[in-house]
Amino acid sequence: MFSIEAFTAALPLLQHAALTTLGVSAAGLVIGFVIALAVCAANLSAKHGLHVAAVVYVRVFRGVPLLVQLLLVYYLLPFIGINAPPLIAAISAVSLCAAAYIAEILRGGFASLPPGQNEAAVMLGLSPFDRLVRIQIPQVVRSTLPSLVNEMVLLIKASSLISVVGVAEVTRTAQNVAASTYQPMEAYAAAGLIYFCICGGLAWVAHSAERRLAA
């Protein structure tokens, strides 16, 4: 029999754990976006070596499951002498993985820019940095916003995997609640509600921002 009392009792614990989920996901997205810009620039570079390195990076991190990446980073850091807490290892792995997907999204955005814009900016005397920051990136972010939001939603759901390295996010907390109360249905139903609220709220904010940008 489904217990409403157990369901509601699990929610406060899971709401607190949701802060960890959001923190890891947000850090992974921000750091991943910065790495993705560098990877995208290398991918679009005329230098063959940079292009090959970027392609290899994207294929490796998109081809290896995030769970394996988490375990590799978690055990690799102590092996090379870096005693980082599990949270740092989780953020590092999530960032590196997210960067591979975001880099491909950005590459498509840059490829869709009209070539005449860059030629006009050169004729106006704008430096490459000014062209990138003031003209190209704003347009790319606007055109790729739906894909970036979708990546953020996927990142939040994928962050459940960081429980394997001991980070107490929503899924790990739900597992602990289920083990202590012997009521797994209620614990995981509460976790599902938390994920639904987070992802649904993010999608609503992104939809509002998309409509505002299109206006």
Nearest CA-CA partner of 66 in 30, 106, 107, 32: 32
Identify the pLDDT of residue 213.
Answer: 65
* Domain with 77 in it: 4-214
Helix or strand holding residue 61 (H, E): helix 48-63
In the predicted model, residues of the chain with pLDDT beneath 70 are 213-215
Q: What percent of the chain has pLDDT over 90?
A: 33
pTM of the model: 0.84
Cα–Cα distance between 197 and 119 in angstroms, integer? 45
Helix or strand holding residue 38 (H, E): helix 4-43
Identify the pLDDT of residue 214.
Answer: 64
CATH number of the domain to which 112 belongs: 1.10.3720.10
- The number of folded domains in the chain is 1
Cα–Cα distance between 110 and 45 in angstroms, integer? 12
Nearest CA-CA partner of 158 in 100, 88, 90: 90
Identify the pLDDT of residue 98.
Answer: 93
Taking only the tens place, the pLDDT of each residue in 141-166 is 788 887 888 888 888 888 888 888 87
